């Protein structure tokens, strides 16, 4: 014989309802725990967009490239041929002046060389395979200013040539002896690696 228990005897459906009640309590407790443990969502912060960082250029800082043409001054030591009007081509001007090569090199190696490089690098951004040689023919007036420019070479890029012509007209050289001087300046243009 088994000892008598103080609990009432179990009926057939007592376990089923007890299990459902237990699951319901566990579900309610889990839901309360889950919802109670979450912090309320923070209020949305109004933030200002970060200022855009300046784009870092691949090339050196650009130099200012002038947009205007330098005109021909009257009586600047350039004598056009007598049988042609004053509007003759620069290659027809009678230039017999003299300027030492060391003086020319000293000027070209300074700012002018940087300006030509800037003209080339601007275009190199659009065409990274652009390279070649370029010859700049300068007619320097008796005051030392550039009066005429022509550009030619294997680089063969109109935009670079146009830019170089504009900047070359701003170059200043020492005053030549005996009038104007015509000289050519070679440039080798290759991308920097």
Q: 18-33: per-residue pLDDT in tens?
A: 778 778 788 887 777 7
pLDDT for the residue numbered 169: 93
pLDDT averaged over consecutive 10-residue blocks of the chain (193 residues)? 64 70 79 67 62 51 51 48 51 78 92 93 91 93 91 92 94 91 92 77
Q: What is the pLDDT of residue 95?
A: 82
* Structural domains for the chain: 90-189 (3.30.2420)
User: Residues 147, 90: contact at Cβ < 8 Å?
Assistant: yes
End-to-end, the C-alpha distance of the chain in Å comes to 101
Q: What is the DSSP letter of 53?
A: P
- pTM for the full predicted model: 0.55
Residue 85's pLDDT is: 45
What confidence score (pLDDT) does residue 2 get? 60
Distance (Å) of CA 115 to CA 66, 163, 191: 10, 9, 15
């Amino acid at each position: 014989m088994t000892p008598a228990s103080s609990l009432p005897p179990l009926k057939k459906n007592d376990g089923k309802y007890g299990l459902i009640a237990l699951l319901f309590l566990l579900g309610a407790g889990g839901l309360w725990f889950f919802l109670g443990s979450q912090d309320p969502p923070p209020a949305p912060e109004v933030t200002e967009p970060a200022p855009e960082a300046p784009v870092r250029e691949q090339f050196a800082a650009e130099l200012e490239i002038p947009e205007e043409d330098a005109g021909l001054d009257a009586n600047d030591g350039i004598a056009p041929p007598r049988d042609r009007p004053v509007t003759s081509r620069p290659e027809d001007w009678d230039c017999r002046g003299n300027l030492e090569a060391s003086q020319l090199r000293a000027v070209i190696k300074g700012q002018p060389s940087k300006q030509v490089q800037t003209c080339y690098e601007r275009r190199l951004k659009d065409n990274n395979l652009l390279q070649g040689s370029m010859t700049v023919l300068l007619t320097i007036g008796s005051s030392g200013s550039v009066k005429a420019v022509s550009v030619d070479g294997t680089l063969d890029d109109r935009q670079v040539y146009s830019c170089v012509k504009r900047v070359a007209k701003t170059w200043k050289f020492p005053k030549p002896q005996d009038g104007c001087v015509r000289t050519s300046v070679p440039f080798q243009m290759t991308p920097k690696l």
